[in-house]
Chains A and B, each alone.
Chain A
Amino acid sequence: MATVTMTVNGKSVSGEVEGRTLLSDFVRNNLNLTGTHIGCDTSQCGACVVHVNGKAVKSCTMFALEAEGSSVTTIEGMANPDGSLGTVQQAFQDNHGLQCGFCTPGMVMSAAALLEENPNPTETEIREYLEGNICRCTGYHNIVKSIQAAAAAA
């Protein structure tokens, strides 16, 4: 076991982990931040996307120890300081950008990363950026609409 320390959603955290402990397991099991979902555990589905130093990554395909000293944002860090939904989250609610909701944390994190890189993406750019996020309910249409709305609202 080794001690890992990082900043998660603005707070400094540390915990005891094995070398093989995944970042997804660290945030869920050590920090009880269960909004980060583990869908496939094979880096295909994107439900586990978090931001590490501002970049979207699949937290099931990174070890917790690799995030030592990093700044991590999970879906729990996307709300406004007063607890109300953040812009991207609100856009997903307004546009019915989810059905079962399992993929939604990853969709919101990928969407936020896209809008950071490209504040006014085209529909094609949005769909390309979501290549690593799989939704089995919506057919993606309302997810794309949600991201377009979030871009317009920002």
Chain B
Amino acid sequence: MSRIVRSPHPFEHFTIDLLNATDEDLREVAETLGLGLNLDELRYIRDHYLIQERKTTDVELQTFDQTLSEHCSHKTFGGVIHTPEGTVDGLLNTYLRGLIDELEPDWCYSVFEDNAGIVDLTDEVGIAIKVETHNHPSAIEPFGGAATGLGGVIRDVLGVWANPIACTDVLCFGPLDYDYSKLPAGVKHPSYIFSGVVDGIGSYGNSIGIPTVNGATVFHEDYTGNVVVYAGCVGVLRKDQYIRNVKPGDNVLLVGGRTGRDGIHGVTFASAELTEESEEVSRPAVQIANPIEEEKIKRAIKEVSERRLGSGITDIGGGGLSCGVCETANSYGLGVEAHIDRVPLKATDMAPWEIWISESQERMLLAVPPDNLEEVLQIFEDEQVETTVLGQYNSTGEATLYHHGIKIAQLELEALFNPPKIERSTSWKPPTLEEPEIPEPDDLGAVLLKLLAAYNITSKEKVVRRYDQEVKGQTVVKPLQGWKAGPNNGAVLKPLDDSWKGVAISSGINPRYGQIDPYWMAAAAIDEAVRNNVAVGGRRISLLDNFTWGNPEYEDRLGGLVYACRACYDVGKAYGTPFVSGKDSLYNESPLGPVTPTLLITALGIVPDIRKAVTMDLKEAGNFVYLIGETKPELGGSEYYHLHRQLGASVPKLDADRSMAAYRRLTEAMDAGYVRACHDLSEGGLGVSAAEMAFTGDLGMDLELSCVPTSEEMRDDFILFSESCGRLLVEVKPENKDAFETVMTGSTVAKVGEVKEEATLTVRKGGAILVELPLEELIGAWKTPLEVPR
């Protein structure tokens, strides 16, 4: 006899009898209802209903399914993990949130507890920030997946009452020249995904009128089957606008777009591996974007927020209403009564469970006290946004749902949000890798030109220009510098009309290092993000983590993840940079295997006076060029090795204490006005960085390799292309030479060159000229390879 029985109600609704259900029965129920719950979770639910002494319903089981999914509950980051070095009770609490308790920053306003992290800009004003992934949907439907990814993260920022002012995007694709004949069934070609994702982000961000100010475009074989789309959003709010005070009797107000069948089981899909059938099975999981709807919502919420009329807010994203409604009730220690049939629909024949879990876009949930309801409804009406009062919060501790007056679910929130922690074990062994033997090249200039044209270094102008970078007129340091459009280290925004205070946004990502060592990959990503931030004038930096990893149920993948988290803790502590928000995307596996372990670090810094912000272009002939930091023979995972199709083993190992000390001194030098230009050294090392500074500023540079501080005797090509962490090039006026050197005392720093009028980059060692190239040729190489397919 089937355990699933249709209810007598005049709409689709089922009761499910889980009493004495065997594992086999449970699996069958899960499969019939399309649930992603594992056996342990199903047993937990069965036992819960045994105590409740009643049958469950489809709506209830679907709610458990959504809430317990990896996407919503982050059970891997919350679970107990047995590692060779001991047991970790929660990666998030131990390493990421744990850092906050350790550092005790008094400028973190709200971290890891809401839709977005909030830090102080001034005493009264806070900056909210969140970065999300939208990988799985983008693999299936690149345009829609990427667009809704951006839409979702903007709602996260709205979901802390903040007004969004900027977006970020970091995109990771397979090689654009990937051999079509090697593509497995179900995997779309990187160039198709690339154009769809770039257009999707552009279409959403441009239409809603939020500038995209920072990002990266990265290429790696492993992203062929697992495209990675990171979208971030920064918002601003007065801190007293951050109201979270929901009381029994407050209204549950749904605002925004209508609910449809787009985005059913999105979180279940996001918490599973991609397969050949994903296209067909999971297409409905990808939502459809309507940026103008969100633009209207944004205006209305800004108004409600400024007038402080709501008592709580959250976005409707993964898990749909089921998560939004239940999570808010649970987080305020309340219960809730909601009427599903009031939800405005795109398709009128939807079953209640579908309405309840649909992830249709552009919807937000507000809690509104009865006295303010009329005013709030008027605000949304003025912006032409549809609103629905779904029900009220109460003090029952339960979510009770009705459809046309008939009770269809009664969920005990305590049980819903406190499932048993998962327990897993790890193993991770360093891969056996060797240092390649690469013959020393005769012509370093030719190598430099090749590196500038490498996909991971080449100009991303053709992507960046698709996005509005300066709408709102607050982008002070833009992603591309000046008329030559060189790559700035980070963006600087001026969010307040009446203050010169700014925020700096930057990022760090090193996919190739992850194949050598996830710990040092994570350390390098944090360093890169922080260094980029410091380079434009940022300080008091907070970080966001976004892990993209393979299936954590495999011990090696999880082992690597644990090491990466440890690096976050270690480096975060040494740098004094707390994590304020984050998001993990696991299960990035495709027929081509797991994704390369990827950690995106986003850094948010404060710039006390944007008039002192620093860009990377050379400013004036005759100025001196200094190199901060030590160069080591660390080319494992470098672009230089990659030119030779080698990975190598000598991954850059960050010396966190020395690096941070140097950054602090550099900041001091910037404040004193000694720094005319500053650029970080990353992919392609010193050679690429020097070339970028020169051609962006349209000024030549003389570089003397024998002056570069190295840890040991090194080959010229290694000095020029090593990717050691912690290094920056700085331009200083001759008259500030002594003052600059005094400020930098204690750190590794050396004058390595000069700015010249003549438009060439010249690299010498002793008397010998190693590289002599016109700027035009350098910028030509840098701008050539990446064509946006049209």
* Chain A bound to chain B: no
Please list the residues of chain A having a beta carbon within 8 angstroms of any beta carbon in chain B: none
- Which B residues are closer than 8 A to A by beta carbons? none
